[in-house]
């Protein structure tokens, strides 16, 4: 069972890189960052349950918050998508509040949050201001070995509206995530403490922390697994249909 869990982690989150020595300051920053993702994800009802949080570097990620869907998913609802964006901001916000700093590490979170908000506005018809239509199609197809670019122009006036809507979504979800983190400072502190001590915590430990109970220590086999041969491969993408669940620092 533990072997199976380890295999799943490796597939979903990438291989652990225990050989990397992180400066204590960055290790602490990563712990707050992942706790930020995890606490927001735990509190928002429409996002997937948090399966595991870890500050062991994997691939290019300094830490990982893994969410797993409870069943297959074929489409996403607007509320789910909005809450997912909030989860993406949890990391940076925790850095700001608890470490009093902003790092470059959140850049990938912003890229995914922006891309998701852009698709809500331009492809999924989820903005009242822009309505149920599609904007700014730029198709770049490779056809028979030649690149064919098609531009369908959108006016500057429309592009400004698109930009404003994306920004509104980003700002609202950021504010929601910030409110949740500020209201749950104790949870973030407790989870960060657990992560700094044990490096990885599971859903049961997360649940305890969120319910203000002391989390149980990690299972013995988990510590044994740390004795297995180190591997240092390239990261694999998460298997979750809800892309964006596994937060990288």
Q: Give the residue, chosen from 45, 132, 220, 229, that forms a contact with a copy of itself under the rule CB under 8 A.
A: 132
If one asks whether residue 123 binds a copy of itself (CB under 8 A), the answer comes out as yes
Q: Which stretch binds a copy of itself (CB under 8 A): 136-144, 189-197, 207-215, 231-239?
A: 136-144
CB of 196 to a copy of itself, least distance (A): 16
If one asks whether residue 102 binds a copy of itself (CB under 8 A), the answer comes out as yes
Are 47 and 84 contacting, i.e. CB atoms less than 8 angstroms apart?
Answer: yes
If one asks whether residue 155 binds a copy of itself (CB under 8 A), the answer comes out as yes
Query: Cα torsion at 45, 166, 34, 58 (round to 10°)?
Result: 120
Are 238 and 13 contacting, i.e. CB atoms less than 8 angstroms apart?
Answer: yes
If one asks whether residue 149 binds a copy of itself (CB under 8 A), the answer comes out as yes
State which residue, 135 or 206, has the beta carbon closest to a copy of itself. 135
CB of 98 to a copy of itself, least distance (A): 13
If one asks whether residue 113 binds a copy of itself (CB under 8 A), the answer comes out as yes
For residue 58, report the phi and psi dihedrals to the nearest 5 degrees: -135, 125
If one asks whether residue 136 binds a copy of itself (CB under 8 A), the answer comes out as yes
If one asks whether residue 154 binds a copy of itself (CB under 8 A), the answer comes out as yes
**Residue of 34, 95, 199, 248 with catalytic role:** 34
Total of residues contacting a copy of itself (CB under 8 A)? 73
> What whole-number distance in Å separates Cα of residue 205 and Cα of residue 214?
8
> What whole-number distance in Å separates Cα of residue 176 and Cα of residue 133?
27
- How far CA 47 is from CA of 90, 135, 149, 220, in Å, comes to 13, 27, 37, 30
Tokens coding 97: 């509040």
- For the purposes of burial, counting CB atoms within 10 Å of the CB of 86, is it exposed (0-12), middle (13-18) or buried (19 or more)? buried
CB of 120 to a copy of itself, least distance (A): 9
Q: Give the residue, chosen from 7, 159, 179, 228, that forms a contact with a copy of itself under the rule CB under 8 A.
A: 159
If one asks whether residue 198 binds a copy of itself (CB under 8 A), the answer comes out as no
> Which of the residues 17 through 56 are near a copy of itself (CB under 8 A)?
21-23, 26, 29
Q: 197: closest CA among 31, 61, 63?
A: 31
- Is 34 assigned a catalytic role? yes
Q: Give the residue, chosen from 131, 212, 229, 234, that forms a contact with a copy of itself under the rule CB under 8 A.
A: 131
Q: 27: closest CA among 59, 58, 55, 64?
A: 55
Q: Helix H segments across 139-201?
A: 156-183, 185-198
Residues known to be catalytic: 34
């Amino acid at each position: 069972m533990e072997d199976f869990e380890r295999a799943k982690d490796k597939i979903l989150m990438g291989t652990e890189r225990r050989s990397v020595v992180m400066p204590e300051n960055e290790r602490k920053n990563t712990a707050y960052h992942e706790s930020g993702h995890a606490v927001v994800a735990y509190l928002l009802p429409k996002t997937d349950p948090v399966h595991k949080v870890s500050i062991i570097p994997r691939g290019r990620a300094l830490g990982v918050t893994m969410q797993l869907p409870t069943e297959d998913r074929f489409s996403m609802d607007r509320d789910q998508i909005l809450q997912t964006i909030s989860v993406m901001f949890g990391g940076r916000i925790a850095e700001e509040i608890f470490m009093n700093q902003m790092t470059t590490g959140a850049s990938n979170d912003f890229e995914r949050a922006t891309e998701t908000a852009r698709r809500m506005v331009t492809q999924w018809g989820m903005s009242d201001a822009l309505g149920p239509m599609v904007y700014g199609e730029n198709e770049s197809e490779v056809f028979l070995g030649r690149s064919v670019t098609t531009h369908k122009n959108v006016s500057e006036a429309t592009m400004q509206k698109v930009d404003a809507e994306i920004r509104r979504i980003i700002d609202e979800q950021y504010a929601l995530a910030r409110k949740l983190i500020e209201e749950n400072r104790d949870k973030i502190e407790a989870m960060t403490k657990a992560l700094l001590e044990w490096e990885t915590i599971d859903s049961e430990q997360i649940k305890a922390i969120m319910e203000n109970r002391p989390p149980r220590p990690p299972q013995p086999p988990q510590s044994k697994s740390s004795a297995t041969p180190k591997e240092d491969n390239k990261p694999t993408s998460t298997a979750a249909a809800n892309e964006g669940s596994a937060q990288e620092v």
